[in-house]
Amino acid sequence: MLRYLTAGESHGKALVTIVEGVPAGLRLTAEYINTHLARRQQGYGRGARQKIEKDQVEILSGVRLGRTLGSPVALVVRNRDWENWKDVMKPEGGRAQALTHPRPGHADLPGAMKYLTRDIRNILERSSARETAVRVAAGSVARRLLEEFGIHIYSWVVEIGGVRYTKKDLPPEKLFEMAEASETRCPDPVVTEKMKRRIDRACGDGDSLGGIFEVVATGLPPGLGSHVHWDRKLDARLAGAVMSIQAIKGVEIGEGFGFAVLPGSRAHDEIFYSKHRGYYRRTNHAGGIEGGMTNGEPVVIRAVMKPIPTLMRPLHSVDIATRRAHLATVERSDVCAVPSASVVAEAVVAVELAGAFLEKFGGDSVKEIKRNLRGYRSELKRF
């Protein structure tokens, strides 16, 4: 079983993760993980914090001489901003002014009530999307594993604050390449500029913006996941993982909500066979998943991120110390983090896909898994 946990507060000393269930013999370097950490930090509309942080991972365990050992992989990403928060965030001793003005849309108020604290900082430090830095680190391990088997994950942004990109019929690696060159991770330079102007306008208004991104995974063999139980269905697992990213409010797979208007005759992907390709489809409305299992077509996931709840022109709230009306806390924040969220989604998708992959082909070493995959592929050739 592949699993990970994270720990760490936004302005604490560091973020850490332990990834367990990684097979032995996988090439893995800090440099590889750092590439993805840097991708997450980019994006137009980010705040001043990203000028402070330059995320770098340190591999603490589970890797020796550039290859995994099969033991837990422990990773740490240090918060540079910790230097400025030592007094407020120190683990022992000291006092700090309580934050008491919850932001609508944030974890602030439900968290304060749940944990019976009147200092919202006790909640916001952990609910902060800063935690996604180390999720990308964990996801990079899973991604490296998938790459070893020809499975690749891409993402791009399709909408920010109502400025929409209509997807062109291009291969995912091409769309990805164009998204990587865009400040909003949008594959179209003209739409990128429109998105940037929309973000500028929101920034000028003291407002924030959400949007939609798409993640595509290619090279997946059919049969990952299962139809037999709710918690083994791959679409459910992917949706749960993507929904767990901070500020995500909706996830769809393939045609998703678009199925509401399509008749069955146009909704389903007809089945074809050729000696060269085996079974294949000419459309992919299902988003690569039928009955909770991959069907061999690319997996396509879209998700919507709500606008960031920290507004420079704050919304109405209540002071939880006095119960009197008060404007919400104004904290340094981002205007838009949709481009970053799409990179985080790649990471959590990688973990789910690698987990399902290991369940089917699992072994203790990459060598063993390669043999298992070869065996399955040769069965499918005769199928």
> Applying CB under 6 A, which of residues 47, 70, 111, 223 lies at the interface with ligand EPS?
47
- Of 134, 138, 128, 137, which is closest to residue 9 (Cα–Cα)? 128
Specify the residue, 5 or 48, whose C-beta has the smaller distance to ligand EPS.
Answer: 48
Specify the residue, 119 or 331, whose C-beta has the smaller distance to ligand EPS.
Answer: 331
DSSP state, residue 104: T
- Of 179, 341, 170, 136, which is closest to residue 250 (Cα–Cα)? 341
> Applying CB under 6 A, which of residues 2, 6, 9, 10 lies at the interface with ligand EPS?
10
Rounded Cα distance between 350 and 32, Å, is 15
Q: Which stretch binds ligand EPS (CB under 6 A): 165-173, 208-216, 264-272, 332-340?
A: 332-340
Specify the residue, 134 or 191, whose C-beta has the smaller distance to ligand EPS.
Answer: 134
φ, ψ for residue 147, nearest 5 deg: -60, -35
Specify the residue, 114 or 168, whose C-beta has the smaller distance to ligand EPS.
Answer: 114
Q: At what angle do helices 338-361 and 366-382 cross, to 10 degrees?
A: 80
CA 361 to chain centre: 24
> Applying CB under 6 A, which of residues 6, 100, 128, 294 lies at the interface with ligand EPS?
128
> Applying CB under 6 A, which of residues 331, 362, 363, 365 lies at the interface with ligand EPS?
331
20 binds ligand EPS (CB under 6 A): no
Closest residue to ligand EPS, judged by C-beta, is 49
Residue 259's CB is within 10 A of a number of other CB atoms, namely: 16
Residues 295-324 that bind ligand EPS (CB under 6 A): 310
Shortest spacing between CB 344 and ligand EPS, in angstroms: 9
Specify the residue, 86 or 377, whose C-beta has the smaller distance to ligand EPS.
Answer: 86
Rounded Cα distance between 234 and 28, Å, is 26
Residue 282's CB is within 10 A of a number of other CB atoms, namely: 8
> Applying CB under 6 A, which of residues 57, 76, 123, 133 lies at the interface with ligand EPS?
133
Shortest spacing between CB 128 and ligand EPS, in angstroms: 4
Residue 197's CB is within 10 A of a number of other CB atoms, namely: 12
Q: Which stretch binds ligand EPS (CB under 6 A): 58-66, 139-147, 203-211, 331-339?
A: 331-339
Shortest spacing between CB 23 and ligand EPS, in angstroms: 30
Q: Which stretch binds ligand EPS (CB under 6 A): 122-130, 212-220, 263-271, 358-366?
A: 122-130
Token pair belonging to 205: 């208004």
56 binds ligand EPS (CB under 6 A): no
φ, ψ for residue 342, nearest 5 deg: -70, -35
Token pair belonging to 257: 């909500």
* Rg, the chain, Cα only: 22
Shortest spacing between CB 89 and ligand EPS, in angstroms: 11
Residue 70's CB is within 10 A of a number of other CB atoms, namely: 16
53 binds ligand EPS (CB under 6 A): yes
The amino acid occupying position 154 is Y
Rounded Cα distance between 372 and 40, Å, is 34
Residue 136's CB is within 10 A of a number of other CB atoms, namely: 28
Specify the residue, 227 or 332, whose C-beta has the smaller distance to ligand EPS.
Answer: 332
Shortest spacing between CB 106 and ligand EPS, in angstroms: 7
Specify the residue, 133 or 157, whose C-beta has the smaller distance to ligand EPS.
Answer: 133
Residues 6+ apart with CB under 8 A from 197: none
Q: Which stretch binds ligand EPS (CB under 6 A): 142-150, 161-169, 257-265, 326-334?
A: 326-334
Contacting residues toward ligand EPS, per CB under 6 A? 10, 47, 49, 53, 81, 128-130, 132-133, 246, 310, 331-334
